Amino acid sequence: MTRKIAAGNWKMNGLRASVEEARAIASGADGCTVVICPPATLLVPMSALGVALGGQYCHASTSGAHTGDISAPMLADAGATWCITGHSERRADHGESDADVRAQTEAAWSVGLTAILCLGETLAQREAGETLDVLRSQMDGSLPSGATPDNTVIAYEPVWAIGTGKVATPDQVAEVHDALRARVGPGFSLLYGGSVKAGNAADLFALDNVDGALVGGASLAAADFLPIVKALAES
């Protein structure tokens, strides 16, 4: 059985006042696993809300001279039980390679964090017909061999659908998720991410191999996120 997971990636958004929004999400979440990945500064203030928390990234090392970075043990110590790895914004903004993502994913596992490993093609790659090849190569390069359904969730996030309002069509998502399922086998939860909103969530969750979503903008407010959680719980 795959787990149904609604994960919110708050990215670089949220101040201490946003803890109240997370509290509202926590109290309304029902029927599936809900994870909030706030900025690291909000992990401790959110740690008593009763909702699962995740980091958005972790360094491959456990400690050391890496100014501005954060390690998996720090995330776990602050209350996280999950960690996003390989998000396309990290790959683009910080030059993270598949090898980096693989090492970060192993670092997350080493302290018991469940990794939400992100993959996705750019618009140019999709238009060149390279989508499945790109994803295969990202999987080969960034998914460590010790991955299990307990320690890893895969998130397909087409780069062109992130923050653009252009959600991938159900056919596009089904093609990729069916290929991912064939690659990883049963049990692994496969999330879709990229402009997921209340209005398109049910159609995505109706697909065979979509077990949830990794939501950006629409996870910041309970009024936007909870209808997505409900759609997943009812799928």
65 CB-near residues (< 8 Å, 6+ apart)? none
Binding-site size for ligand 13P (CB under 6 A) equals 14
Burial of residue 48 (CB within 10 Å: 0-12, 13-18, 19+) is: exposed
Binding region for ligand 13P (CB under 6 A) out of 72-80, 101-109, 144-152, 209-217: 209-217
The smaller minimum CB distance to ligand 13P, of residues 43 and 116, is found at: 116
Q: Which stretch binds ligand 13P (CB under 6 A): 19-27, 126-134, 211-219, 223-231?
A: 211-219
Asked if residues 43 and 74 have their Cβ atoms less than 8 Å apart, the reply is no
59 is catalytic: no
**Based on CB atoms, which residue is closest to ligand 13P, 1 or 12?**
12
Q: Is 64 annotated as a binding residue?
A: no
**The token pair that represents 107 in the structure block:** 């670092």
- Rounded to whole angstroms, the Cα distance separating 181 from 145 reads 16
Candidate residues 147, 215, 222, 231; the one interacting with ligand 13P per rule CB under 6 A: 215
Distance CA 56, CA 39 (A): 7
Q: In the bound complex, what is the minimum distance in angstroms from residue 67's beta carbon to ligand 13P?
A: 25
Nearer to ligand 13P (CB atom), residue 14 or residue 217:
217
In contact, 114 and 83? CB cutoff 8 Å:
yes
Closest CA to 117 of 165, 81, 151: 151
Rounded to whole angstroms, how far apart are CA atoms 140 and 157? 17
Is 31 annotated in a binding site? The answer is no
Residue 144: alpha-carbon gap to chain centroid: 17
Q: Which lies closer to ligand 13P via its Cβ, residue 6 or residue 139?
A: 6
Contact present, 55 and 82 (Cβ < 8 Å) = yes
Q: Cβ 166 to ligand 13P, closest distance in Å?
A: 9
The pair of structure tokens assigned to 150 is: 């307990």
Closest distance to ligand 13P from the beta carbon of 30 (Å): 21
Q: Which candidate in 21, 59, 87, 177 is catalytic?
A: 87
- Say whether residue 121 binds ligand 13P (CB under 6 A): no
Of positions 100, 106, 121, 157, contacts ligand 13P by CB under 6 A: 157
Q: Which residue has the tokens 């999709």?
A: 126
| Residue ranges in contact with ligand 13P by CB under 6 A | 9, 87, 157, 162-163, 193-196, 214-218
Enumerate the known binding-site residues: 9-11, 163, 195, 216-217
Annotated binding site for substrate: 9-11, 163, 195, 216-217
